[in-house]
């Protein structure tokens, strides 16, 4: 069997970039990268060298550590596909957050992942749990489940199959597997929005409103927010989702 080295090298480069994004400014060491991706140090180093030469990775201040390079951010500025949607949604999100106090997120699809594209918060403290650019497997948490509900059935099933093992590995406080996620997506399709009843953070649930687009040049997104699990009673959920719709939908 012939191995496609170009394909495997490209996949390794993408995996390293995603990993460096998780590590932030301090960066990750070659040993950490090698262990996390289950590749040899020489293979990881070759890929890092290529990424560094193109500006996609760079040496971090900590000796022997690497972080994302400036080319990543400059390239992102050239592709602002989500910018018009974010601008439209921003006033409604701001109003909703002002009324309720809940931090509000725009969640967008990125392959088999969901990515936080925007965050509106009343808090001046850094968000420790989730922030702009953070990603998770599609199907994890309410915003991500809401996104799945915007997709055709065949695409949903392909994502569920691709992410099945990732669901089991994702940090959770309740049991999560592909069947749990599939049930949440089915319920979101029936209900019109997604509910996370405390699967991932102790005492914290979440709600997600899908916002599908008919424009092929726009990305499907969802608006989500977390709330105390003790407050997630049916009457309050219905009322607060109506508030979110009233704040968001007129802006679209």
DSSP state of 174: S
Q: If residue 205 lies in a helix (H) or strand (E), which one and from where to where?
A: strand 204-211
Q: Give the pLDDT confidence score for residue 251 in this predicted structure.
A: 73
Query: What separation, in Å, do the N-terminal and C-terminal C-alpha atoms of the chain show?
Result: 52
d(CA 185, CA 180): 9
- Tokens 């970039």 belong to residue: 17
Return per-residue pLDDT of the chain as tens, 252 residues: 333 455 578 889 989 998 998 888 889 999 999 999 999 999 999 999 999 988 889 989 888 999 998 777 666 655 566 788 888 999 999 999 999 999 999 998 888 889 898 999 876 444 445 678 888 999 999 999 999 999 999 999 999 999 999 999 999 999 999 999 999 999 999 999 999 999 999 999 999 999 987 665 567 899 999 999 999 999 999 999 999 999 998 876
Give pLDDT, residue 7.
Answer: 54
- Facing residues of 104 across strands? 120, 225
Domains of the chain in sequence order? 5-76 (1.10.10.10), 80-251 (3.30.450.40)
Contact assessment for residue 173 and residue 198, using Cβ atoms and an 8 Å cutoff: yes
pLDDT at 78 (0 to 100): 53
Q: What is the pTM of this model?
A: 0.73
């Amino acid at each position: 069997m012939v191995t496609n080295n170009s394909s495997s090298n490209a996949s390794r480069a993408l995996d390293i970039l995603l990993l460096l994004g998780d590590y932030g400014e301090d960066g990750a060491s070659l040993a950490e990268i090698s262990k996390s991706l289950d590749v040899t140090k020489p293979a990881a180093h070759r890929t890092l060298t290529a990424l560094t030469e193109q500006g996609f990775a760079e040496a971090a201040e900590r000796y022997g550590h690497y972080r994302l390079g400036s080319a990543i951010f400059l390239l992102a500025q050239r592709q602002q596909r989500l910018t018009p949607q974010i601008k439209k949604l921003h006033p409604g999100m701001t109003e909703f957050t002002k009324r309720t106090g809940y931090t509000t997120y725009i969640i967008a699809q990125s392959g088999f992942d969901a990515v936080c594209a925007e965050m509106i918060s009343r808090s001046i403290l850094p968000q420790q749990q989730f922030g702009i650019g953070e990603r998770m497997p599609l199907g994890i948490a309410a915003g991500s489940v809401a996104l799945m509900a915007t997709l055709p059935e065949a695409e949903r099933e392909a994502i569920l199959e691709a992410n099945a093992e990732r669901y089991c590995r994702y940090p959770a406080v309740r049991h999560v597997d592909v069947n749990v996620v599939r049930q949440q997506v089915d319920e979101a399709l029936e209900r019109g929005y997604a509910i996370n009843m405390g699967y991932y953070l102790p005492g914290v649930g979440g709600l997600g409103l899908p916002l599908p687009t008919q424009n092929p040049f726009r990305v499907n997104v969802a608006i989500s927010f977390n709330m105390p699990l003790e407050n997630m009673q049916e009457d309050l959920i219905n009322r607060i989702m109506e508030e979110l719709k009233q704040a968001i939908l007129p802006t679209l």
